[in-house]
Amino acid sequence: MKQLVVATKNKKKLSEIKDILKGIDLKLLSLDAYKNVPRVIENGKTFQENAIKKAVKLARFTGQFCLGEDSGLCVDVLGGAPGIYSARFSGRDKNDVKNNLKLLRLLNGMPVSKRKAHYVCAVALADKDGLIGIVEGSCFGRIAFEPEGSTGFGYDPLFYIPKYKKTFAQLGEKIKHTMSHRYHALKKARRIIQKYIEK
């Protein structure tokens, strides 16, 4: 069975990717399977640039087929922020709770009409010879007035889907994994992965 190294140590993200890609004849590994992994400095100007950096650098390091992913939340009224800085939005001592609280502070007093937002996910695939493909997916919603729900991670407790009248964290994985930004990007990536392993 071929291996796909997912360029992350985030267990929740890995679990989500595994769930969305299930059915492909691949063993998915995270960076935890390797020692002395080189640090990838995410200084790209877009999600795609950061995803490519991760995939290419870590494919060279591991010698394996590799998936690099970068994703984040873009809030219209904040000019697309937190964007590529989503994971480190609240500074050096960042965590999901602090990031969510900072976002709520910035949107304090804003009406529903000013709370439009979308998640973006870029997925890059590379092997030791270089980049194979890059795809992107999005999911649109708005920012809730307070965190709701207990599943998912990141900004999921605040990302509200009007169709369901629930946040991602309330919807749960079963529904989230059929409509999220990561689902849309991985659905496109799936075709590239399938082609690669059939070679």
Tell me which residues are annotated as active site.
Answer: 70
Radius of gyration of the chain (CA): 17
Q: Which residues contact 88 (CB under 8 A, 6 or more apart)?
A: 94
φ and ψ of 90, to 5 deg: -95, 15
Cis amide leading into 82 (omega within 30): yes
Sign of the four-CA dihedral 79, 74, 6, 147: positive
Looking from the CA of 144 toward its CB, the CA atoms found within 13 Å total 21
**Nearest-angstrom CA–CA distance, 199 and 105:** 51
For residue 10, give both structure tokens: 């985030």
Q: Which residues contact 55 (CB under 8 A, 6 or more apart)?
A: 7, 66, 67, 68, 124, 125, 126, 131
